[in-house]
Structure 1
């Protein structure tokens, strides 16, 4: 489960398109930000993705990727031109097939090969039609699905929905939220064989309007995922602001949709907290104010955004404690696991959340002030601020972890919730598989 949102420039306080995402994955699955440098590749070379090889292109662009440790691709990412993509699972009427490209692989490939949102989308479509999508997407157990992508740059935004090798794309000009529910009803662009395939399956008659989402979606499975409720929640929060800025977007990503966080947040909660075995949890969050190569980002680098500090960075200026070098994935994993101790301590009742959140609010206001003062400054000045904020964040988290060491346990929730988290705690950090 995930929540991805787009806000067009004319609805924002900054006059910039905004793309943001909560990535909901296995609670024990590390997810961290990596910088992948631009690279020239030999002729006829191939690249190994999570499950299969695909033909490599002569040059790949530089990318910053929010990457689940064991997967080659990523959940959220951006490239040197400010093209930014978030993907989500959707369930369709088509079989999920043999291992091929994961949606996360397609996301990375699109960023590495597309200078604009439209180019990235074309790359994803071509790869989808050539190689297909499929394979287990779960850190533990099994989960199979197809994908929807929200793709944006400083000029435009697109929703690209897929079902097997079929796809439909819609150019978007208003607030849009996607939460594991297909929503492209009137495509701007469409796979040339999608309509005929639907007719052959008996799903569609030529006399009716062609609604890609309604025809290809597995409605029963989708209804159980809470996606419609999450999408309505984030959209409601966004539309409550006359001019949408960072605070409104953070509020939407941190919303529990009326549920009690940690103990009763469920599939209808944008800020997702695991509450049973096999449940998902928000393991990483990112916000992008799209401005080409000078796009400004805010990211957590940890789970559960309701208690995670959002730190700023730029593509050319970021703290190495937040965005790691590609060959430093072991270090990145350890950093995510250390930050995850905040969430586990909170669940054990070892953190005074009222005091923690009050301090976090003050800290984030300082971050916004610090970042705004250098937004138009040199790379060196922006880098210095990112480094300073990373140190402040580490000091804040370390101080609360130190407090947790001496605070008596008072676990949240009932016995069943405690059993879930005892099981998760026993295996946290055990799977250190990394895909390079």
Structure 2
């Protein structure tokens, strides 16, 4: 709000084992939401992606017409309106996904079609989230941190959430955690802080060595877990083990 040249809209993905929604915001008040129907796949970045919302702010259409953002004819296209296309000047290509959003969409397509050895699973998703070239995994001035993969199971199965809980997914290992029945005092926050600070001390050479060791541990953990759940004790053990591994390469 203080810098008129800087605009940052937000997208949110809400999902459980039964359904998923994408919600996007614009300005201080406006929002829309799109239900991701069965059989579809969806990804988001920090850009506008919804065209035909299923839910929206009660005053949005009225305001869009009053402000001249939308002429009221035909379907309301949220992305077109938010990019100024309701006043003309945009072509179809301007509304297509680009950047990280386009890269994420391409990854999901390959995973669903099981191309290039990919599948809809934790290892393939981890590869996607470590894709530096496309910008999905950001490095430099803006960095990707706190990366997460969630496996949501229908029928009462225990969901498992894989967290790096540390900077840079290309170096960190994903560690499994389940929220069900967990009390706050069971989570070792001190280990998380230590791990974060240790990762920040790594040199470029150290990062490569740590990444190799942690990737091997990650693969072993995935094989040993199978379809099982995770416990706070397992997550904390993984955190402590990673702390010790990273320590070895910061000395």
Bin of the TM-score, shorter chain as denominator length: 0.7 to 0.9
Report what 2:248 is aligned to: 399
**What CA deviation, in whole Å up to 9, does each residue of 1:224-248 have, x standing for no partner?**
xxx8211121221222123400011
| TM-score, structure 1 as length reference | 0.47
Report what 1:252 is aligned to: 128
The answer as to 2:206 corresponding to 1:351 is yes
Specify which structure has the higher proportion of strand: 1
Correspondent of 2:223 among 330, 352, 369: 369
Report what 2:35 is aligned to: 171
Aligned CA distance change for structure 1 residues 387 and 207 (closer, same or farther; 3 Å): closer
CA deviation after TM superposition for structure 1 residue 323, in Å: 4.5
Q: 1:229 & 1:146 partners in 2: Cα distance?
A: 15
Question: Higher relative CO (CA 8 A, sep ≥ 6), structure 1 or 2?
Answer: 1
**What CA deviation, in whole Å up to 9, does each residue of 1:82-122 have, x standing for no partner?**
xxxxxxxxxxxxxx49xxxxxxxxxxxxxxxxxxxxxxxxx
Report what 1:145 is aligned to: 8
The residue correspondences of 1:275-286 to structure 2 (distance < 5 A) are 279-286=141-148
Gaps of 5+ in 1: 1-95, 98-135, 137-141, 220-226, 258-267, 403-436
Aligned CA distance change for structure 1 residues 192 and 158 (closer, same or farther; 3 Å): same
Report what 1:296 is aligned to: 160
CA deviation after TM superposition for structure 1 residue 311, in Å: 0.7
Q: Give the match's secondary structure for 1:370.
A: helix
The answer (yes or no) to whether the contact 2:52–2:77 under 8 Å persists in 1 is: yes
Correspondent of 1:389 among 234, 238, 245: 238
Q: 1:400 & 1:166 partners in 2: Cα distance?
A: 48
Q: Give the match's secondary structure for 2:25.
A: strand
CA deviation after TM superposition for structure 1 residue 296, in Å: 0.2
The answer as to 2:208 corresponding to 1:338 is no
- Length, aligned pairs only: 228
Q: Give the match's secondary structure for 2:65.
A: helix
Q: 1:323 & 1:389 partners in 2: Cα distance?
A: 12
The answer (yes or no) to whether the contact 2:9–2:46 under 8 Å persists in 1 is: no
Q: 2:167 & 2:100 partners in 1: Cα distance?
A: 18
Report what 1:240 is aligned to: 110
The residue correspondences of 1:37-436 to structure 2 (distance < 5 A) are 96=1, 145-163=8-26, 164-173=28-37, 174-217=40-83, 228-241=98-111, 242=114, 243-257=119-133, 268-274=134-140, 279-291=141-153, 294-316=158-180, 323-324=187-188, 332-342=192-202, 345-346=203-204, 350-351=205-206, 353=208, 355-372=209-226, 375=228, 382-402=231-251
RMSD: 3.2
Q: 1:323 & 1:285 partners in 2: Cα distance?
A: 18
| TM-score, structure 2 as length reference | 0.78
Q: 1:358 & 1:332 partners in 2: Cα distance?
A: 21
The answer (yes or no) to whether the contact 1:151–1:157 under 8 Å persists in 2 is: yes
CA deviation after TM superposition for structure 1 residue 361, in Å: 2.4
Aligned CA distance change for structure 1 residues 386 and 372 (closer, same or farther; 3 Å): farther
